[in-house]
Every structure is written in structure tokens, then in C-alpha cells.
Amino acid sequence: MLRAEKSLVMGSRLRGEIKKGAMPTLHRWLGNPILTWIANLFFGTRLSDYHCGLRGFDRKTILSLDLQTTGMEYASEMIIRAAFSGASMAEVPITYYPDRRGRSSHLRTWRDGWRHLRFLLLFSPDWVFLYPGFALMIAGFALSAILLVGPFELGGVTLDVHTLLFSATMLVLGTQLVLIAILTKTYASHTGLLPGSTRLTAALDAFSLEIGLAAGMAVILLGFAMYGIGFYQWSQVEFGEISNYASTLRFSITGTTLVAIGGMLFFGSFVISLLGFQVETQ
């Protein structure tokens, strides 16, 4: 494989033969397959055994990856950064024999499994922040828009302001996650931790602090307009007890949601601009 100009060639125990007693059952049927599946999903690879230590590689290519970790995460970092760089990879089925060194394994199933999963998550802002954030934003916005008009019946169940509060929370949380994703990807790409994104670069090039501040302030003002509608409804009963509290509460929840989102956009714009300024000065 190396002679066929593959930059990284890995052994695959799962595609080969695993001798009896060579690998714990939990590692073979749960830990290794699940972590490998997650890594393939996150980084676009098609490997069967992310954690096999039998590897051959082109020295120049691997040195160019500038690997940083010193623990067991080094094995995963090698594959991830190779995938980011577009290096060619291949697997070779191998036979995995039991350890004959006469000592217990230094691996700890749950501790080390979490270490690997944590490392994968740290290198995946899209899957940790961006995609969940967009899902929450879309679901929260759609449900909030429906409930802002009035109660909504679904399968014999009436959804009203209590559900609106939940959908508003989804919308706020989703917006926060997307903003964190943008900040994380911007910082990580500028520092070399993650490869740059052409779509993100184009968006940031079109972005300016003034645009972000204007957008944030517009959303905040829209939120205060919702407060104004609720306040007007209250004034109609001379600021006494409101018989139809759901109507006023509907606008209050929407206004609070918009003010929170507008505030995130307004102040988040400063952070995005600061990251861009840091890159320009470098």
C-alpha cells in the first residue's frame, strides 16, 4: 500500500481475524465500532478500525501534519489531521493475537473510551454546535411562529403559551449554539487547529461590525415592540387583572426571546470582529 503511494496505511483488526482473548468483548462489539462510526461520520473517513496501532506511513506527510497530542489521542489525531489534509489512507486486514507480555492491559474501558470521544468532539464544532443549533433554531422558530398567532391543536392536544415558552427556549439555545460554532470555527481555522471553510470565509468577508450591530439592534427593537403590544393590552384593563393572560404572555415571551437573540447578535459581533482583527494584525 505504501508503495502504491498511500500516505497512511493502517491495520484493521475488525476486517481481519481477532484471536480468542485478544480483545475484550466490550471493545470489539461496542467501543471500537461505535467510536469508529462516530469518527467516520465527523471526518468523512471510511475506516473500520480507528484505534489499531499497527500503521505504516510516509514520514514527510505525517511530520507536515504538526501533530500535538502526547497521549493515546495521538492515534486519532493522526487520522483526523490526515483526513483534513486530504492525505490518502488505506486499511489492510490483520490477525490480532492475545498479548503475551504477562501483564494486564493498561487500557481502561470507560475512561479511555471517553478520552477518545472527547477528542473527537473537540475537533467537530459542526456536529457539536452547528448542526444541533440549526435543528433547534428551525424547530423553535417554526413552533414559535405558529403559537404566536394563537393556540394550536395537535392530535387532540392544545398547545398554547406553555409550549411557546419551550419553543422560545429552543430558539434561543439554537441561536447560541450556531454563534458558538461560528466563533469556534473562526478561531480554530485562524490558529490552524481546523482546516479553513470556504463558506465561512466568504461569510466573514461579507460581515462587518456595523452589520452585526445593526442586525442585533433591529432584533432587540422588535422585541421591545412585542413588549409594547403586551403593555398596550394591559393598559386596556387599566393595569389591573388580565382575564386573557395567555394573549399578553404570548407577546411577553416573544419579546423576551427576541431581546435575548438580539443581544447575542449585538455583543457576539464584537467577538467575531475581534477575531478578524487579530488575524489581520498577524
Question: Are residues 102 and 161 both part of a single domain?
Answer: no
Residue 277 belongs to some domain of the structure: yes
Render 140-202 in DSSP notation, one character per residue.
HHHHHHHHHHS-EEETTEEE-HHHHHHHHHHHHHHHHHHHHHHHHHHHHHHHTSS---HHHHH
Q: Which residues of 80-94 are buried (b: 16+ CB within 10 A; e: fewer)?
A: bbbbeeebebebbeb
Residue that finishes a domain, picked among 87, 122, 157: 122
Question: Are residues 137 and 269 both part of a single domain?
Answer: yes
Question: Are residues 186 and 99 both part of a single domain?
Answer: no
pLDDT at 281: 47
β-pairing, 89-96 with 8-18?
parallel
Residue in 178, 185, 184 with CA at minimum distance from that of residue 265: 178
Cell of 225: 415592540
Residue 87 belongs to some domain of the structure: yes
Residue 253 belongs to some domain of the structure: yes
Over residues 196-225, mean pLDDT: 87
Predicted confidence (pLDDT) per residue in 178-196, tens digit: 999 988 888 887 777 777 7
Question: Are residues 277 and 140 both part of a single domain?
Answer: yes
pLDDT at 103: 64
Residue that finishes a domain, picked among 102, 122, 142: 122
Question: Are residues 72 and 85 both part of a single domain?
Answer: yes
pLDDT of residue 11 exceeding 90: yes
pLDDT at 249: 87
Q: What domain count does the chain have?
A: 2
Question: Are residues 117 and 132 both part of a single domain?
Answer: no
Helix (H, G, I), strand (E, B) or coil at 114: helix
Predicted confidence (pLDDT) per residue in 21-32, tens digit: 888 888 889 989
Residue 3 belongs to some domain of the structure: no
pLDDT of residue 282 exceeding 60: no
Residue 2 belongs to some domain of the structure: no
Specify the higher pLDDT residue, 191 or 279: 191
Over residues 109-116, mean pLDDT: 84
Residue 77 belongs to some domain of the structure: yes
pLDDT of residue 2 exceeding 70: no
Residue 216 belongs to some domain of the structure: yes
Question: Are residues 107 and 175 both part of a single domain?
Answer: no
Going by pLDDT thresholds of 50, 70 and 90, the confidence category of residue 150 is: confident
Question: Are residues 138 and 13 both part of a single domain?
Answer: no
Question: Are residues 107 and 68 both part of a single domain?
Answer: yes
Question: Are residues 240 and 207 both part of a single domain?
Answer: yes
Render 226-276 in DSSP notation, one character per residue.
HHHHHHHHHHTTTTS--S-HHHHHHHHHHHHHHHHHHHHHHHHHHHHHHHH
Chain CA centroid to CA 115, Å: 17
Q: Contact 31/117 with Cβ under 8 angstroms?
A: no
Model's pTM, two decimal places?
A: 0.81
Question: Are residues 139 and 165 both part of a single domain?
Answer: yes
Predicted confidence (pLDDT) per residue in 54-92, tens digit: 999 989 999 998 888 888 888 889 999 999 888 999 999
Over residues 204-226, mean pLDDT: 91
pLDDT at 240: 75
Over residues 110-124, mean pLDDT: 87
Cell of 236: 386596556
Question: Are residues 157 and 247 both part of a single domain?
Answer: yes
pLDDT at 78: 92
Residue in 151, 149, 142, 146 with CA at minimum distance from that of residue 171: 142
Residue that finishes a domain, picked among 122, 150, 182: 122
Range of the domain at 109: 8-122
Residue 147 belongs to some domain of the structure: yes
pLDDT of residue 143 exceeding 70: yes
